[in-house]
Amino acid sequence: MIVQVDPKATVSQLDAIKDAIKAIDYKATEVRTQRGFYLVAIGKKDFDIRSIGHLEGVLDVHRVSDAYKLVSKKWKVGYSEIDLGDGVKVGGDELALMAGPCSIEGEEQIVQVLTHLKSQGVRVMRGGVFKPRTSPYSFQGTGMDGLKLWHQHAKALGIKIISEVMSVQDIGPMYDYIDIYQVGARNSQNFDLLRELGHVDKAVLIKRGMSGTIEDLLQSAEYVFSGGNERLMLCERGIRTYEQAYRNTLDINAVPLLKEKSHLPVIVDPSHGIGIRRFVEQVALAGVAAGGDGLIFEVHAVPEKAWSDGQQTLNFAESKRLIHKARRLFSFCRALEGEFPLDEEPA
Amino acid sequence: MIVQVDPKATVSQLDAIKDAIKAIDYKATEVRTQRGFYLVAIGKKDFDIRSIGHLEGVLDVHRVSDAYKLVSKKWKVGYSEIDLGDGVKVGGDELALMAGPCSIEGEEQIVQVLTHLKSQGVRVMRGGVFKPRTSPYSFQGTGMDGLKLWHQHAKALGIKIISEVMSVQDIGPMYDYIDIYQVGARNSQNFDLLRELGHVDKAVLIKRGMSGTIEDLLQSAEYVFSGGNERLMLCERGIRTYEQAYRNTLDINAVPLLKEKSHLPVIVDPSHGIGIRRFVEQVALAGVAAGGDGLIFEVHAVPEKAWSDGQQTLNFAESKRLIHKARRLFSFCRALEGEFPLDEEPA
Amino acid sequence: MIVQVDPKATVSQLDAIKDAIKAIDYKATEVRTQRGFYLVAIGKKDFDIRSIGHLEGVLDVHRVSDAYKLVSKKWKVGYSEIDLGDGVKVGGDELALMAGPCSIEGEEQIVQVLTHLKSQGVRVMRGGVFKPRTSPYSFQGTGMDGLKLWHQHAKALGIKIISEVMSVQDIGPMYDYIDIYQVGARNSQNFDLLRELGHVDKAVLIKRGMSGTIEDLLQSAEYVFSGGNERLMLCERGIRTYEQAYRNTLDINAVPLLKEKSHLPVIVDPSHGIGIRRFVEQVALAGVAAGGDGLIFEVHAVPEKAWSDGQQTLNFAESKRLIHKARRLFSFCRALEGEFPLDEEPA
Amino acid sequence: MIVQVDPKATVSQLDAIKDAIKAIDYKATEVRTQRGFYLVAIGKKDFDIRSIGHLEGVLDVHRVSDAYKLVSKKWKVGYSEIDLGDGVKVGGDELALMAGPCSIEGEEQIVQVLTHLKSQGVRVMRGGVFKPRTSPYSFQGTGMDGLKLWHQHAKALGIKIISEVMSVQDIGPMYDYIDIYQVGARNSQNFDLLRELGHVDKAVLIKRGMSGTIEDLLQSAEYVFSGGNERLMLCERGIRTYEQAYRNTLDINAVPLLKEKSHLPVIVDPSHGIGIRRFVEQVALAGVAAGGDGLIFEVHAVPEKAWSDGQQTLNFAESKRLIHKARRLFSFCRALEGEFPLDEEPA
């Protein structure tokens, strides 16, 4: 059960609500986010929802049968939109586009990519400065120096930054220089990291684990939301299957399922989803057609020379084509939906 | 190596070609299909391709490094189009649509579905009469009686029939009543069945096995082609992964990969691909956006009462909407491609 | 529900039993095997089991809640033992061993392997004469000629033959020359083949499909049993997973689970289960320790020169060592079980 | 390449070695562990190994072609043994046993389990105090209080403690109270955590990720080793596959493969490996027969009342039986190995 509490409720009103929850043997967790004040109550007994609903200070009460609660679509009308400021939004009426290199390499590369994105009207740049590398001897990223340099140039152009955070200690240092914390596939169930990101007031994008279920992903998001941060996005980036013809198998089914289960925006990562440069475009378009709210993909001036992931990175020409097509397709699909609204039985 | 032989070549010319192949230690298989006469030669040695190419009776010679040969795109200009007669084609400039119930149940159901398809301009009806059921005690299909009844009504309306063939013995009896033999996922590596279908002059659609690789599917197709039948289609229908939120995981990556590896048409089955009725549409649209040549999906007047697979079957209203959207999307995507032709480097 | 019928029941007694089953809205299938006469009744209603049990001609009635019935352990006391004649048994107090090459190649090879097996007291030789090869251009087996030659030598030494049958048409021709029909992983859900093997009075070993579930395997066995043949064995041979360090991932969990779910003997195939020669022994021993009734593995005089599967085939010295260890371990484990009988709560 | 450096080498000798490595374009990482001083050099060029080997201060030089270096078996004679003090060892001639509840619950439970372990001569107790729970609303463990209480009782009985560490911040606080840091499956690629554990002088057990490859696991171990800690163990605990009959699929193949690839001890976790209490024993025995160095399993006085994982937890009687059988089997298998030494070709 989710109880939406009036932020102006008095302490004694709040106590009365908590007592009522305790009286039906439910365990309540208090959640204050940027947007609301909730009591998430977990229990097994059946009860009369009005016994809570009529209390003073209660805005609304919702039964949510899912294991995850706050990220569930069961209690929210419509979808969540994440406002990144300066008119940059994720989850609304425009396709959200995030693009950039696998790794931030240096000033020249940063400027090249930013210039490309600017020319295409893309407002969010991705890039890794702390790289989760399988081998300890591989390049581990340019770290905070790389991030600061990147931030300086991006800010000047009004472009937002999304970058992976790998540990709790880095949340603080990164804070001033990024707009979206990315939780990588390998950290998708790093619960300490997720919990801490719940205490931050910046947006978070959570990638699905390599063998994470849909339910796992939503529970990971619940960690962040229940910590107090509801500026969240989910990302499908391909899963591990027996098929070895591609790096990962993009799970297109996840897109409509996540959109039904949760009110959070769903971003598709075609670069990791297939891992082969010449197929990134088709997979991206499939993600849009399936109902994705946005795309995150890898681009580099010269993919062949990228320090990492070059085999799945687009060059600027390919990126331009993908951006053009994806936007056109997104508009087309939204219009198509209008022709047969989903809430109306087609004749 | 594939040697395209002139069908009008003389016996002695053919012998000379075979001798030349033997001389370089290659093993040749003679393949005569509806469309051509080929010698598929397998070997390891490097050789001068002109030593074969200059022989009389040789139309063309192609090196094909893939393990599969005749189904490879390496030797063929353009994609194959399958003509089913009466203007019904698969693999061309129109989206191929095949729809119908999981199982053929009886006359009323047949007529209902045919009427629906006719009204939507769908020219191929799917349906099972021999059902591969996990349990021996489950309904096994209406068999040849069901097929004959179906054929009688379908023919009257000019609608083609695709139905699963489960064993070599059924190929003959089914022949007069169907237009496309479907090889199901469970028989995807039933090599005896595939080999026999190579000797038939009707179209064949091969579904990918539940844990079949892309390479497995192409090799299965090679069995049919090398047997003498090149009227072939490939079908992506979802694979088995750890994710249990859906019946199967549709592998959207397979669509662009198959289109690159092979010249055969690629059909997407969203019904089995996700197995949940309310998501079939989005998955189908993703399949179209990824480059699929057609869709095969399940439809029934009253899915709740279907004898099998009701949970993934659309009703007529939903089917109508899907057909409309899929066709519109297909045209849109083809037009979009024209804006940035793939063979031209985008600027 | 399984009704064990007295083979000496009269026609009118049988009719009365069937009427009683019909009266509770169950659908009965008549099954006559080498060992018994059963009515397998499928339905949903709850009923008083005594209403059937007291009828004349009924030996016993069992409720079986599993989807599979006759292969379930729920109705049978103890495990099934398959008698292959001449004192060769599978599923009893001795470890069943089946070994031989992937493919039967010729007389010299046959004699070498038979001589090796004879010297080790192994009574069943495996070998393929119809080979399910991914590519149509690969060696497809020596066929019936190979089988006849093999049979002639094996018979002389009192060694039984297990070989894969790939299609219904081959069941008849193979009949006189083999002792166990093997259903391969790729045909694990070839229901027509399974159904036909139900009409044969020779033993059948069914390999689990590459992505077959435990339930799938048991249902495949149910096809054979319900067809009339209860001389059945199940084989765990590795499944397809994301891990590419081995050809397949032997599912050791399947061994105790199958032994709990079914009364049929469980054979472990370590050769395909890992696919790497130098690890076959450890995997085989694990299979024995987990409770397997037998092993089927690949052996060849010179694995490096085997026509197929050489990379997972043992030579005679390795085979000798494995046989010795596996037998010793099997006896040890059986004795160990006696120290703490499973039906007695350990203190 | 791994260069074993004499700990007594002078600074100028070390500089000379580093210069020689740089001269062949290799990048060296200095690694000082509890046991040795290494330079791990990564590069691509071929070179004369003697050019390094003859330098003063070099004890030995090894080429290691694996992507992981220090954990590879290629450079080490024999297997590593981890000494936990007080005569407790992992990886030697005795089967290492670690057992205990999923979660530490309280004093009574701690004492019950410790008493049981003591009576069976088990020297390491497992238990979670920081629990990685899928849901943020689930019990998250008794934390440091639970650990301290546990430590107090365990120490009194001479029993060592293994417990999961979930984040870098907990390494310090836990240090005085544990003997082995466990890295859980969900943190198997939490590289920051692994790197920090490399700076600790306590043993570390790394569980394989749910979809982690063998190579991933070894690279994770390399993170710890290259950080300076070579007191490492690897743990196979089941992987995610399509099969849903069990919680995970224990990958028995991993045991012999890990033993061949690495010199580190391999521990098998049958509790998570199958997740079903009544099959834990057989899976554990399989792990021993396959060559595992030890077992880690879950035990509780009353599994039905355990706060977590009760369905896969043994009671004391079952635990006693498993311990007895596993030890007897371990001795038997070691003796069996002696009958046919692996380094000698069996006749």
* Closest residue in A to D140 (Cα–Cα): A191
Chain C contact for B42, CB < 8 A? yes
Chain D contact for C34, CB < 8 A? no
Contact C242 D289 (CB under 8 A): no
Residue A117 exposed, middle or buried by CB count within 10 Å (0-12, 13-18, 19+): buried
What pLDDT, on the 0 to 100 scale, is given for residue D342? 52
Q: In what order do the strands lie in the sheet with B58-62?
A: B27-32, B37-42, B2-5, B58-62
Distance from CA of C323 to the nearest CA of B (A): 33
What pLDDT, on the 0 to 100 scale, is given for residue D103? 96
Cα–Cα–Cα angle for D171, D172, D173, nearest 5°?
100
Contact B166 C191 (CB under 8 A): yes
B158 and B284 part of one domain: yes
Residue A326 falls inside a structural domain: yes
Contact A211 D210 (CB under 8 A): yes
Q: Which residues of chain D neighbour B242 with C-beta distances below 8 Å?
A: 211, 240-242
Q: Which residues of chain A neighbour C241 with C-beta distances below 8 Å?
A: 242
- Decide if the complex's ipTM is over 0.85: yes
Residues 45-64 of A with CB under 8 A from D: none
CB under 8 Å to B265, separation ≥6 — which residues? B79, B80, B81, B82, B90, B91, B96, B233, B234, B293, B294
Residue D88 DSSP SS3: coil
Arithmetic mean of pLDDT, B321-330: 97
Contact B211 D244 (CB under 8 A): no
The CATH number given to whatever domain includes residue D264 is: 3.20.20.70
Question: Percent of chain D beyond pLDDT 70?
Answer: 98
B34 and B90 part of one domain: no
Distance from CA of D240 to the nearest CA of B (A): 6
D89 and D117 part of one domain: yes
What pLDDT, on the 0 to 100 scale, is given for residue D102? 96
Nearest Cα neighbor of A221 from A210, A211, A232 is A232
Residue B74 falls inside a structural domain: no
Segment A255-290, tens digit of pLDDT: 999 999 999 999 999 999 999 999 999 999 999 999
Residue D228 falls inside a structural domain: yes
Nearest Cα neighbor of A59 from A118, A128, A127, A6 is A6
Spatial separation of the C-alpha atoms in residues B135 and B146, rounded to whole Å: 21
What pLDDT, on the 0 to 100 scale, is given for residue C261? 96
Q: Which chains touch B (3 or more CB pairs under 8 A)?
A: A, C, D
D39 and D116 part of one domain: no
C104 and C210 part of one domain: yes
Contact D193 A167 (CB under 8 A): yes
B314 and B197 part of one domain: yes
Q: Is the pLDDT of residue D79 over 50?
A: yes
Distance from CA of C337 to the nearest CA of D (A): 8
Paired tokens of C187:
């045909």
* Closest residue in D to B248 (Cα–Cα): D242
Nearest Cα neighbor of D276 from D316, D237, D314, D311 is D311
Q: Which residues of chain A neighbour C211 with C-beta distances below 8 Å?
A: 242
Per-residue pLDDT in tens (0 to 9) along chain C, 347 residues:
999 999 999 999 999 999 999 999 999 999 999 889 999 999 888 888 888 999 999 999 999 989 999 999 999 889 999 999 999 999 989 999 999 999 999 999 999 999 999 999 999 999 999 998 889 998 889 999 999 999 999 999 999 999 999 999 999 999 999 999 999 999 999 999 999 999 999 999 999 999 999 999 999 999 999 999 999 999 999 999 999 999 999 999 999 999 999 999 999 999 999 999 999 999 999 999 999 999 999 999 999 999 999 999 999 999 999 999 999 999 999 999 887 765 555 44
Which one of B19, B34, B63 terminates a domain? B63
What pLDDT, on the 0 to 100 scale, is given for residue C342? 52
Distance from CA of A249 to the nearest CA of B (A): 7
The answer to whether B3 and B17 are in contact (CB under 8 A) is yes
The answer to whether B129 and B182 are in contact (CB under 8 A) is no
Contact A279 B257 (CB under 8 A): yes
Per-residue pLDDT in tens (0 to 9) along chain A, 347 residues:
999 999 999 999 999 999 999 999 999 999 999 889 999 999 888 888 888 999 999 999 999 989 999 999 999 889 999 999 999 999 989 999 999 999 999 999 999 999 999 999 999 999 999 998 889 998 889 999 999 999 999 999 999 999 999 999 999 999 999 999 999 999 999 999 999 999 999 999 999 999 999 999 999 999 999 999 999 999 999 999 999 999 999 999 999 999 999 999 999 999 999 999 999 999 999 999 999 999 999 999 999 999 999 999 999 999 999 999 999 999 999 999 888 765 555 44
Chain C contact for A29, CB < 8 A? no
Q: Which residues of chain A neighbour B274 with C-beta distances below 8 Å?
A: 253, 256
C201 and C111 part of one domain: yes
Question: Where are any strands of DSSP class E within chain C?
Answer: 2-5, 27-32, 37-42, 58-62, 82-85, 88-90, 96-100, 124-126, 160-164, 180-183, 203-207, 232-236, 266-268, 294-298
Chain C contact for A242, CB < 8 A? yes
Contact B257 A246 (CB under 8 A): yes
What pLDDT, on the 0 to 100 scale, is given for residue D347? 47
Q: Which residues of chain C neighbour A244 with C-beta distances below 8 Å?
A: 244
Residues 188-227 of C with CB under 8 A from D: 211, 213-215
Spatial separation of the C-alpha atoms in residues C96 and D276, rounded to whole Å: 27
Paired tokens of B62:
């192609």
What pLDDT, on the 0 to 100 scale, is given for residue D46? 84
Instruction: Say which of B29, B136, B166 has its CB closest to residue C222.
Output: B136
Q: Which residues of chain B neighbour D244 with C-beta distances below 8 Å?
A: 244
Element at A30 (helix H, strand E) = strand A27-32
A152 and A293 part of one domain: yes
* Closest residue in B to C27 (Cα–Cα): B137
Number of structural domains, chain C?
2
SS3 sequence, D121-165? CCCEEECECCCCCCCCCCCCCCHHHHHHHHHHHHHHHCCEEEEEC
Residue C275 falls inside a structural domain: yes
R_g over Cα of chain C: 21
What pLDDT, on the 0 to 100 scale, is given for residue C44? 84
Segment D112-141, tens digit of pLDDT: 999 999 999 999 999 999 998 889 998 889
D153 and D261 part of one domain: yes
The CATH number given to whatever domain includes residue D29 is: 3.30.70.1140
A159 and A238 part of one domain: yes
Segment A172-205, tens digit of pLDDT: 999 999 999 999 999 999 999 999 999 999 999 9
pTM comes to 0.94
Residue A196 DSSP SS3: helix
What pLDDT, on the 0 to 100 scale, is given for residue A342? 52
Segment D269-308, tens digit of pLDDT: 999 999 999 999 999 999 999 999 999 999 999 999 999 9
* Closest residue in B to A211 (Cα–Cα): B242
B90 and B52 part of one domain: no
Contact B191 C223 (CB under 8 A): no
Q: Which chains touch D (3 or more CB pairs under 8 A)?
A: A, B, C
B286 and B331 part of one domain: yes
Number of A to C CB contacts under 8 A, please give it: 8
Distance from CA of A189 to the nearest CA of C (A): 20
Q: Name the phi and psi angles at C89, rounded to 5.
A: -130, 155
Number of A to D CB contacts under 8 A, please give it: 94
Q: Which chains touch C (3 or more CB pairs under 8 A)?
A: A, B, D
Residue D123 falls inside a structural domain: yes
CA distances from D260 to B212, C262, D32, D151 (A): 30, 35, 25, 35
pLDDT band at B344 (very low <50, low <70, confident <90, very high): low
Distance from CA of C276 to the nearest CA of B (A): 21
Spatial separation of the C-alpha atoms in residues A279 and A270, rounded to whole Å: 9
Distance from CA of C207 to the nearest CA of B (A): 14
Which residues on adjacent β-strands are paired with residue A103?
Answer: A128
DSSP A262: B
Distance from CA of C182 to the nearest CA of A (A): 25
Spatial separation of the C-alpha atoms in residues C184 and C108, rounded to whole Å: 26
Query: What is the β-pairing status of strands B37-42 and B27-32?
Result: antiparallel
pLDDT band at B46 (very low <50, low <70, confident <90, very high): confident
Residue D73 falls inside a structural domain: no
Q: Which residues of chain A neighbour D192 with C-beta distances below 8 Å?
A: 166-167, 169
Chain A contact for B318, CB < 8 A? yes
- Region of residue A209 (left: phi > 0; alpha: psi -120 to 50; beta: else): beta
Q: Which residues of chain D neighbour A216 with C-beta distances below 8 Å?
A: 134
Q: Which residues of chain D neighbour A195 with C-beta distances below 8 Å?
A: 136
Q: Is the pLDDT of residue D344 over 80?
A: no
What pLDDT, on the 0 to 100 scale, is given for residue C344? 52
Residue A74 falls inside a structural domain: no
Furthest C-alpha separation in chain D: 64
Residues 245-274 of D with CB under 8 A from A: none
Chain D contact for A139, CB < 8 A? no
Chain A contact for B24, CB < 8 A? no
Q: Is the pLDDT of residue B277 over 90?
A: yes
Contact D241 B242 (CB under 8 A): yes
The domain of D12 spans 2-63
Contact D68 A135 (CB under 8 A): yes
* Closest residue in C to A248 (Cα–Cα): C242
Q: Which residues of chain B neighbour D242 with C-beta distances below 8 Å?
A: 211, 240-242
What sign does the CA torsion over C188, C189, C194, C196 have? negative
Residue A36 falls inside a structural domain: yes
Nearest Cα neighbor of B1 from B54, B90, B66, B56 is B66
Distance from CA of D191 to the nearest CA of A (A): 7
